[in-house]
Amino acid sequence: MAPTYVSASIMAKEGCEASLERELLKVVPLVRGEEGCLRYDLHRSEYGAAFLFYEIWESPAHLAAHAKAPHMDAMREATADLVAGPAEVNVWESLDVAG
């Protein structure tokens, strides 16, 4: 089965950038320890209010299990008042130019 690629963009409320960053960073080592996690990186935009998770999972089933992990529920609860709206999550399919 081909890996599953994910990008998740999160926008901080004005004045909440540092607090949101702290909360998002807490989950990174926990997710990296999940079964099927091949990559889980957090990025911050140059202007500081936008954050991006770049993820690679062994399979869609691993990604589905990740979404239900208790630490993800805790992160969503801890960041609810820090974000400007829902995360924009996209699942990507790899395209091979070699055919």
Residue 86: inside a domain:
no
CATH label of the domain that carries residue 8: 3.30.70.100
Residues of the domain holding 68 = 4-80
* Predicted confidence (pLDDT) per residue in 11-20, tens digit: 999 999 999 9
Query: Residue 74 class from Cβ within 10 Å (0-12 exposed, 13-18 middle, 19+ buried)?
Result: middle
Give the pLDDT score at 2. Answer: 87
* Predicted confidence (pLDDT) per residue in 27-84, tens digit: 999 999 999 999 999 999 998 899 999 999 999 999 999 999 999 999 999 999 999 9
Mean pLDDT computed over 83-89: 96
Residue 88: inside a domain:
no
